Structure 1
Amino acid sequence: MWKAAFVAYHLLVLGQRLWAQDDVAAINPQDCSLDCIRQGGPGCDYCRITRADVKRALGFNSIQAFGSCIPWPCFELLGEKDPEICQHYVQAPNDVKVEFVHEPNPKSDTIVVSWKPSFYGIAFLRGFQVSLQALGGSSVACQLFLFHRNLSLPASHAQRVYKSDPFPNLSLGSQYAVTVMALPVPEEWERFYHSEIFSTRSCAEKNGLEQCKKDWYPTHIEVQQEGAAVTVTFNLAPPNLGIRSYFSLCYTNGMKTYTDIVPDSSTNQTHHSYQLSDLQEGTNYTCEIAANEVDAVRKTFTVQVMSVHKGGASPLSVTPSLALMLPLGLAMVVFIVVSLAALGKRKPNLQMKKLFMNPENISCTSDPSLPLSALCEVQHHQESGTQEEAVVLQRNGLTPPRLLICYSSYDGPAHVKAVMQLGAFIQQHMATQVCLDLWDSLSVAGEGNMAWHCRQIRESDFILVICSRGLSHRPEPPEPEGDDEDEEADGGLDFGSNAFSSDAAVKLIGEEVGRAKASGQDLSKYMAAIFEYSEESDIPVELRLVSHYRLTSDLVLLFSHLHGVALHRPGSYLKINHISEEGFTKLPAGAALQWAIYEAGMEMRAKSHCTVEGGD
């Protein structure tokens, strides 16, 4: 009897484990028709909706960039006969994760998004909408998944993991924002979606360093000095990368020495040696070596050029000199040791310190895997030496400031691109959360342009207005010309059009600044900035009341404003790596920002030239 009970107990435990595993198993989308979803038939539990399904149901194509996604999908596709099923609140999904899957193309990545539904309102859940957008760009991809109309999930199913279809052809080394939205989406409800920012793998992470031309750099460097000659030996790139030339740059005390390197592959295909010339004796140099390619990764090494004494006395005269100098040298060593000990007791704090965030300094991080990163060093100069304090990020409990960027799109797509690149640089390297309408097009479309900007103005810690010539221009709305508007909409989103501009929001910000100034309120929330191709006169009169900067030369001042950091204190100054005017271009995002500003400047000058000729 007890044996039968024992066996039954083990079978029950095994059944519970199998049931639990089945309950949390990942659920993948399936193909099913809209008729099956609307009628609530079996086999339509979790269905992908295609662009063709939307066209058959609604009679028109959705915007190409949005795939099968449309505004208010529950009302449009399921609420025709029974609108009440699309009027309940459903909480946003949680535990959103991004998983990299196999992608044979070495130049791109493919991801699959997974998430869990919230148990708040899960009985009324009708599906999910997943969108993916590149930060600093305009590419958008979107997928729509629906349950059939009669499905009602219990709260226990909140532990189930739902997956999207693959998102292919993502650029390597790029940042993306993925948003998972729970359906239905009723009006006046803000907690229906969850967003995550992630980075695709670099070429080296996916394919290995030896397969990536842009990411490759020398890993073995050896420096030798014989007399006045300094010889550097480094490993060459694999032949399959097609790198034929290299360069070396050494600098110290404001002086730079550039060396072109063209190895002879017929002599040695693995290593090459070259000589550094025009180096001063007794000087320490910081050198960089890299492939002679655009945005190539640079390998840093140091060179200590020893002093070379030419000529000298004979060995017979050296020995007596050493015998006479040895006692004097020992006495000097003892004196120096005693002096250093006394100095150490008087000033024991001359050492490296790590500080955490307080009202007088900003906490930053240099971790390249985090989207919000910066490294700050405060260097104190004293009479007897140099003291450095490295300010390190204490990430627990630290909330980065929220910055809204507004601009005018009338100056053309090149200006808009420069704004997007600026937002991407601030997001990645200035420890700031950036809000930009081009990065949140789904919310802008759902809330409306002005409603979205009004909410962001209220919720943001700072507002930065990028001023340009277009702020003073108010074009007339274009008149429709036949069916061209529909054809353009079907071809994709026009991210440079007035539909996505924030011109009206800039006027609203100007009025807010005027009211705040009249009532004596703090104006530090508002800032104005111009790019190098704009003029001070492009800043509206009301915005001249607030702090304004010229970018990119004032990036450090902008960082100081955002984080409340004093750039100068008695006996010290703030140094921010990779944000200085000469250092930010070493970062890929900084180089992209500089190039975008250059292209926008060329376009603005060409437009001004055409305007002058037209006037003549």
Structure 2
Amino acid sequence: MWGILYLLLTLAQPLWCQTTAAPVTAQDCSLDCIQKGDPACEYCRITRSHITKGLGFNSIEAFGSCIPWPCFELLGDEDPKICQHYVQAPNDVKVEFLNEPNPESDSIVVSWKPSYYGIAFLRGFQVFLQALGGTSVACQLFLFHRNISLPASHAQRVYKSDPFPGLSLGSQYAVTVMALPVPEKWEKFYHSEIFSTRSCAEKKGFEQCKNDWYPEHIEVQQEGTAITVTFNLAPPNLGIRSYFSLCYANGMKKYTNITPDLTTNKTHHSYQLNNLQEGANYTCEIAANEVDAVRKVFNVRVTHIQNEDASPRSAAPSLAVILPLCLVAVAILGACLAILSRRRPELQMKKFNMQPDIISQHEEGGDQEEVVSLHRNRLKPPRLLICYSSYDGPTHIKAVMQLGVFIQQHMATQVCLDLWDSLRVAEEGSMAWHCRQIRECDFVLVICSRGFNRRPEPEDDNEDLEVGLKSNTYSSGVVIQLIGEEVGRAKARGQDLSKYMAAIFEYSEETDIPTELRLISHYMLTNDLPLLFSHLHGVALHRPGAYLKIDHISDKGFAKVPAGAALQWAIYEAGMALGEKKQRSLEEGD
């Protein structure tokens, strides 16, 4: 009998392996079928209409674009214990790209495996997709029927989400897969992965992408004090109608907006750079006037212009008389200086006990500086918490998020931002989340703006959205007070204050830094990006005979990468929006 059973198991093993290896996709079934435990609806996708029917109100108005997981409302009426079990986070989360018919976007599908721990009480999954540097969120909810109890062998099954279409090309996203149910005070119920969508050039080719196209042929000519630059225009199919040029020299910037007349020439265009400093070497960039467009770098040297003498003939006799006398005087003076120069160094070297052979070796060595690279033996990157005021509007929040993206991508730092950890913030509460991050992070950077000078108290309001915004604004003010207390306490104890930093963007002022944060280091961004990097990694930018060289963090180099260009544009938009807001408030005050 045992031999027959072993034979049956051996024959059934290939079929079992094939079954477990096949990905499990969700079914279209009703919520009633799930609640009744019908075996026909083993694994189902839940839509907003199901939530609306089960809860009795529109979930979009209450929860936004996400589909909530109201376990007690949907499945816990008859058996409340069904929503109280701990389930470990899924594992082996993968992102797979699909053949998106729309050439302007990407489409993905997410796959994962459930954990062994708590799998008998697993009731479903919820998948979140959030754009880094943005607020857009997409959600999908999948449930098993309520009577199911999965065995441990089902932990090898691969579950797949529905497609997430319409993702922006060349962008970063965070996908989070959460195991359901989720009891309170449980930290291991979800797994997150960060991925990047394909670039436009990878999907459509270089000639079909606005952001990836750049002028290949640039010719520079000088005519007096004016510089004429000629470059090739983008192909007509890209629809690029305007360009821009940005030149740097001696701490000065010159921005030129370029709008070619396509009726006269469709292949090339010439523009002038006026009022440039004579004798200066300019580093210039030219690109299409598109967000994150690739920039072409070229150099411009403005030569000195010598003024011709108006009357050379009248000056000739005087020069003939004066020139011989000058030569005689120079010869006598040179002989005297030669005698003194030979004697004086010997006396000085004798006085200070200096060795001339060492000096000659130093002079032969030249003034070459050593390039110091960043130490790569650090076990993990430093963690940086970024705090900000939500009172200054969405453009300021976008600038903060773009700063976080740039720091995480190009400054070897792990950034903690509440907008990127919405699940934990919702679970712990804004204040508890910030307190924990302040304790655990290596550094805290406060982005100061006008909003910190206005500390509104929370007011009663019937509309949920307005209450949420007011509570966020109030909590940001409380967080600043908390950080100020930590700084004051550390200062009173004589402790190191390097953990805390303050910064302002170019559109803010020094007075926007609260009084309690004046004791810590503060920076102006983006000019002080190298100083911020030096602070985060504890390295000196300059030392005798050496300097620190890190790509993409200099005042000129940060905008050459897409994240830096997006940060520059976000700061510009925020400055314009806040300027208009200030102007309106002044007009209303008048």
Q: TM-score, normalised by structure 1?
A: 0.73
* Map of 2:443 onto structure 1: 462
Residue in 2 that maps onto 1:472: 453
Alignment partner of 1:61 out of 53, 58, 61: 58
> Structure 1 residues 274, 554: CA separation in 2 closer, same or farther (over 3 Å shift)?
closer
Question: Any idea what the Cα deviations from partners look like across 1:224-275, whole Å, max 9, x if unmatched?
Answer: 99xxxxxx99987544224578889999999999998979999997xx7999
Is the 2:258–2:271 Cα contact (8 Å) retained in structure 1?
no
Cα deviation for residue 37 of structure 1 reads 1.6
1:413 to 1:297, Cα distance in 2 relative to 1, 3 A: closer
Work out which of the residue numbers 556, 559, 584 in structure 2 matches 1:582: 556
Q: Give the structure 2 partner of residue 209 of structure 1.
A: 206
Give yes or no for contact 1:416–1:496 (8 Å, CA) kept in 2.
Answer: no
Deviation digits for residues 17-65 of structure 1 (CA, Å, limit 9, x no counterpart): 3321211211111111222222221022221111111111111222367
Higher helix proportion, which one?
Answer: 2
In structure 2, what residue type is equivalent to 1:84?
K
Residues 477, 127 of structure 1: alpha-carbon distance in 2 compared, 3 angstrom cutoff: same
Task: Report whether the alignment pairs 1:418 with 2:415.
Answer: no
Q: Tell me: CA distance 1:390–1:284, structure 2 relative to 1, closer, same or farther (3 Å).
A: farther
Partner Cα distance (2:451, 2:153) in 1: 55
Which residue in 2 is equivalent to 1:352?
none
CA positional deviation for 1:193: 0.9
**Partner residue in 1 for 2:71:** 74
2:193 aligned with 1:196, yes or no?
yes
Q: Does 1:406 align with 2:387?
A: yes
**Structure-2 residue corresponding to 1:99:** 96
Encode CA deviations 1:503-536: one digit per residue, 9 max, x unaligned: 2222212122222222233222211112222222
Name the CA distance, whole Å, in 2 between partners of 1:518 and 1:479.
38
SS state at 1:26 partner = coil
Whether 2:486 is the aligned partner of 1:512: answer yes
Say if 2:241 and 2:259, in contact at 8 Å, map to a contact too: no
Q: Which moved more, 1:533-542 or 1:45-54?
A: 533-542
* CA distance, structure 1, for counterparts of residue 172 and residue 193 of structure 2: 11
Are 1:35 and 2:32 an aligned pair?
yes
Unpaired segments ≥5 residues, structure 1: 226-231, 305-345, 347-380
Shift of the alpha carbon at 1:477? 2.8
1:181 aligns with 2:178: yes
Letter in 2 for 1:102: N
Structure 1 counterpart of 2:570, from 596, 602, 613: 596
Q: How many percent of aligned residue pairs carry the same amino acid?
A: 71
Change (3 A) 1:69 1:244: closer
CA distance in 1, matches of 2:576, 2:271: 40
Q: Note the residue ranges of structure 2 that are not aligned, 5 or more in a row.
A: 222-228, 275-279, 302-357, 359-363
Matched, 1:383 2:366: yes
The one-letter amino acid paired with 2:447 is I
- Within-5 A mapping of 1:255-404: 295-299=292-296, 383=366, 385=368, 387-388=370-371, 390-391=373-374, 398-404=379-385
Residue 299 of structure 1 deviates from its aligned partner by: 4.6
Residue in 1 that maps onto 2:83: 86
- State the 1:135 CA deviation: 1.0
Q: TM-score, normalised by structure 2?
A: 0.75
Matched with 1:323 is: none
1:173–1:201: 8 Å Cα contact kept in structure 2? yes
Task: Mark the CA change 1:143 to 1:495 in structure 2 (over 3 Å): closer, same or farther.
Answer: farther
CA-to-aligned-CA distance 1:112-171 (integer Å, 9 cap, x gap): 111111112111111111111111111111111111122122222211111111111111
Q: Say which of 529, 542, 548 aligns to 2:503.
A: 529
Counterpart in the other structure of 1:453: 434
Q: How does 1:37-52 map to 2 (within 5 A)?
A: 37-52=34-49
Task: Give the AA of the match of 2:293.
Answer: A
Give, in angstroms, the shift of residue 288 of structure 1.
6.4
Secondary structure of the corresponding residue to residue 110 of structure 1: strand
Aligned partners of 1:266, 1:56: CA distance in 2, in Å? 63
Report the alpha carbon displacement of residue 390 of structure 1 after superposing the two structures with TM: 4.9
Counterparts in 2 of 1:141 and 1:292: CA distance versus 1, 3 Å: closer
Q: Which amino acid aligns with 1:413?
A: P
For residues 285 and 452 of structure 2, what CA distance do their matches in structure 1 show? Answer: 43
What residue in structure 2 maps to residue 563 of structure 1?
A: 537
Aligned to 2:518, the other structure's residue is in SS state helix
SS at match of 1:96: strand
Post-superposition Cα deviations, 1:559-588, rounded to whole Å, max 9, x if no partner, equal 111111211222111122221122222223
> What amino acid maps onto 2:521 in structure 1?
S
- Provide the aligned C-alpha RMSD in A: 4.2
Hey, what's the Cα distance between the residues in 1 that align with 2:270 and 2:394? 46
In structure 2, what residue type is equivalent to 1:200?
Answer: T
SS of alignment partner, residue 150 of structure 2: coil
Going from structure 1 to structure 2, the CA distance change for 1:510 and 1:139 (only over 3 Å counts) comes to: same
Seen in structure 2, the aligned counterparts of structure 1 residues 504 and 421 have a Cα distance that, compared at 3 Å, is same
Distance 1:539 1:266 in 2: 52
Compute the displacement of 1:550 (Å).
Answer: 1.6
- 8 Å contact from structure 1 (residues 66, 141) kept in 2: no
Question: C-alpha separation between the residues in 2 aligned to 1:496 and 1:172?
Answer: 34
The more displaced of 93-102 and 75-84 is 75-84
Correspondent of 2:422 among 441, 446, 457: 441
Distance 1:469 1:186 in 2: 40
Check 1:298–1:549 CA distance in 2 against 1; reply closer, same or farther (3 A cut): closer
Partner of 1:331: none
Q: Which residue of 1 aligns with 2:522?
A: 548
